[in-house]
Amino acid sequence: MKIAEKHVVTLNYTLKDNDGEIIDQAQDGSFAYLHGAQNIIPGLENALTGKAVGDQLQVKVSPEEGYGQRDENRVEDVPREMFPADQEIEPGMVFHAQGPNGEMITVTVVEVGDDTIKIDSNHALAGVELNFDVEIMGIREAEDVEIEHGHVHGPGGHHH
Ligand code: ZN
């Protein structure tokens, strides 16, 4: 069986930056996703199409096919009262917020002023070249309900 749309793929992967620092890796050595459903970044998904169980590959993904380029417009000052009043805010803290299109975004505190807080809502990996070491552990046809939901159920996937 080869990786194609509507297949559930189980991978082991390690993600490194260009300095060889590990950014991310598969939890417990296995990560499952639904191929063709934009569960993973396009650069990695495209590289996996047509691969088979046991294949090992190294994939270099540019920011354009990864998490995008950094956008300095996404670094902005917001009023202090947008944050919980009873919480001490410090640079480096990460919050989850709702983006302009209703999507969940991650916001990192850059600087704390008296009345305003400078935040950066770029993805932490925006502008970063991504180097994946991937091994294909399993491939199976997705169940109808998984295709309907657009994600994998069971081990390595969603539980609900
Ligand atoms: Zn589901």
Which neighbouring-strand residues pair with 22?
16
Question: For residue 47, what pLDDT is reported?
Answer: 98
CA distance 51 to 28: 22
Q: How far is the CA of 35 from the centre of ligand 1 (A)?
A: 15
- Residues flanking ion ligand 1, Cβ below 5 Å: 149, 158
First and final CA of the chain: distance in angstroms? Answer: 28
CA distance 8 to 147: 10
Q: How far is the CA of 11 from the centre of ligand 1 (A)?
A: 19
Burial of 88 (0-12, 13-18, 19+ CB in 10 A): exposed
CA atoms within 13 A on the CB side of 77: 5
CA distance 41 to 5: 15
Q: How far is the CA of 95 from the centre of ligand 1 (A)?
A: 25
Q: How far is the CA of 158 from the centre of ligand 1 (A)?
A: 6
Domains of the chain: 7-67+126-149 (3.10.50.40), 72-120 (2.40.10.330)
Of 74-83, 92-101, 111-120, 121-130, minimum mean pLDDT range: 92-101
**Can you give the pTM of this predicted structure?**
0.80
Residue 155 has pLDDT above 80, yes or no: no
Contact assessment for residue 56 and residue 75, using Cβ atoms and an 8 Å cutoff: no
Residue 100 has pLDDT above 80, yes or no: no
Q: What phi and psi values does residue 74 have, to the nearest 5 degrees? A: -90, 5
Q: What is the pLDDT of residues 80-91, one digit of tens each?
A: 998 888 989 999
**Mean pLDDT value of segment 54-77:** 95
Q: How far is the CA of 160 from the centre of ligand 1 (A)?
A: 6
Q: What is the pLDDT of residues 1-60, one digit of tens each?
A: 999 999 999 999 999 999 999 999 998 888 999 999 999 999 999 999 999 999 999 999
